[in-house]
Amino acid sequence: MAIRDPEIIRDKQQMRNWSRSMRSQGKTIGLVPTMGYLHQGHLSLIAEARKHAQLIVVSIYVNPGQFSATEDLSTYPSDFHGDIEKLKSINGGVDVVFNPKDLYDYGGDRERSGGNEVEREGGVVVSCLEDGGGGHETWIRVERLEKGMCGRSRPVFFRGVATVVAKLFNVVEPDVAVFGKKDYQQWRIVQRMVRDLDFGVKVIGAEMIRDEDGLAMSSRNVHLSPQERGQALSISRSLFEAKSAAKGGKTACSELRRSVIESIEAAGGKIDYVEIVDQESLEAVEEIKGGGVVVCVAAWFGKVRLIDNMEIHL
């Protein structure tokens, strides 16, 4: 397998200039946005992007805008050198790694606080990137799709995701962007934002990648103790059992949901949510009648919050 060094770009204007130069040559560009600490799931997104574009840009950026004041973004795992080595070894390689220091830096000589300032909205502490009134204050909200599931327990998360993805689209100017279906609500929110704001980007959802034991691949899995990892397998087991039960005729969502909750709690997990929703609208469904639904789960094992989901088609 050929080893190929990607070009590393850290400046926004340099990134934009590269993309425009490639597009002027008739090249198509695929973007895979990541927060780094890459695993096989991320590499599968790159393989998917290769099917749809000639050149591939992987962004590595831990976005402070999606972390609340109670979430310490400094604990998010990072291994930039290891990430580059993984990207160099994959089939076809990667053309550019976009690794900006701060996507919310607009120049000037103000001393910045690193994106962890705090404000209150309706009594809720949220992440804020404003800097003495002169910093970032524009946010994108996909209002209905962001309300449920992860949006309930992480009220600023999706405004941060939508905003940083829009910024990446404006800087990289890709033709195609690939997101993993593990973050199902995020994928649907980005799709809706692209539709509503007329971005000229095709958003593709790539299938989830699981470890051999069934656990959905996630950068956060590294924080699980061996015992917690074993307990966390209850999530995927309960989802596969729910799918099998639905295929076998048990289509009442209340019963399927209860079985998933009981299985995870019996293993020692703390439920954030278990929802069975329409795959596109993300509205709750009472019974599976033939259209596509997705069972979405968020649960805590120790100090690690894991998400997973299972699409069901009858």
| Cβ atoms of 277 and 298 closer than 8 Å | no
Phi, psi of 24 (to 5 degrees): -65, -20
| Cβ atoms of 269 and 239 closer than 8 Å | no
Phi, psi of 127 (to 5 degrees): -70, 140
Q: Decide: residue 14, CB within 10 A, 0-12 exposed, 13-18 middle, 19+ buried.
A: middle
Distance CA 65, CA 183 (A): 17
Is 42 an active-site residue?
Answer: yes
The token duo for 229 is 């990892």
| Cβ atoms of 254 and 286 closer than 8 Å | yes
Alpha helices in the chain (DSSP H): 12-24, 40-50, 80-89, 150-153, 157-172, 184-196, 226-247, 253-266
Longest dimension (CA), the chain: 64
Q: Which of 42, 52, 136, 223 is catalytic?
A: 42
| Amino acid letter for position 138 | T
Indicate which residues carry an active-site annotation: 42
